[in-house]
Amino acid sequence: MKPLSKITLLIISFIIFSFTVKQSFAQQTEDEQRAHWIFNISYGVTWENEDNITTYTIGVFSSETLFDELQKSAKTETIKGKPVEIIRYLNYADIQANQIVYVSQNENAYLGFVYKKFKGKNVLIMSDRSKQPEYSIINFKKIDPKDPKPFDINSKLAELNHIILSKQLIRVGGNRQDIRIMYAATNKKFKDEQKKLDEKRS
């Protein structure tokens, strides 16, 4: 039996999380769920020069409770088999170009500054219920067991920052246009491959 791929594990994790969130909602804090999602999302993201990354870094501005939850997760979890370092920032000016930069809801006023600092850089910017979702790649929504969409994706900024998002992530958080483009690209690839096969047979 072949081992499950990381993407397959991501899909399974999404399904399990969606199924269990209604039951665990009362027991799990919001920050525990956020930490869970951040690690799971990372498996569906491709950064530049990943072979050269020895330790993935997640910068948190500036929620202490989320920082603590991510620290707990980092002790037992990895990102793509590599260790994870969690860094907490108390001043937006100190934030470095980590693989992931998370701006907590209380710091949404500074999201625009973070966006300007890392626009065009290979950084996955995350925000929490921001009213300016154009400034982040992943914008988490209010956790609601009845809402199957836990976050929204900003594909334009992802492309600008050279962040590649898996089809599974786009299905979960993408808008209709994202999904339409994804399926159109998949269909074109299928037709191109079919054409090559037909040419070989003729």
Contact 48, 164 (CB under 8 A): no
Confidence of residue 174 (pLDDT cuts 50, 70, 90): confident
Q: What is the mean pLDDT of residues 165-194?
A: 72
The reply to whether the predicted model has a pTM over 0.85 is no
- Domain edges within the chain: 6-190
Q: What proportion of the chain, given as a percentage, has pLDDT over 70?
A: 75
CA 77 to CA 43: how far, in whole Å? Answer: 12
Q: Is the CB of residue 82 less than 8 Å from the CB of residue 99? A: no
Q: Please compute the mean of the pLDDT values over residues 17-45 and round it to a whole number.
A: 77
Pick the closest to residue 170 from 147, 184, 189, 152 (CA basis): 152
Q: What is the mean pLDDT of the chain?
A: 86
Q: At what angle do helices 30-42 and 6-24 cross, to 10 degrees?
A: 170
Q: Does domain 6-190 have CATH number 3.40.50.2300?
A: yes
161 vs 17, more confident: 161
What pLDDT is stored for residue 141 in this prediction?
95
Res 158 pLDDT > 50: yes
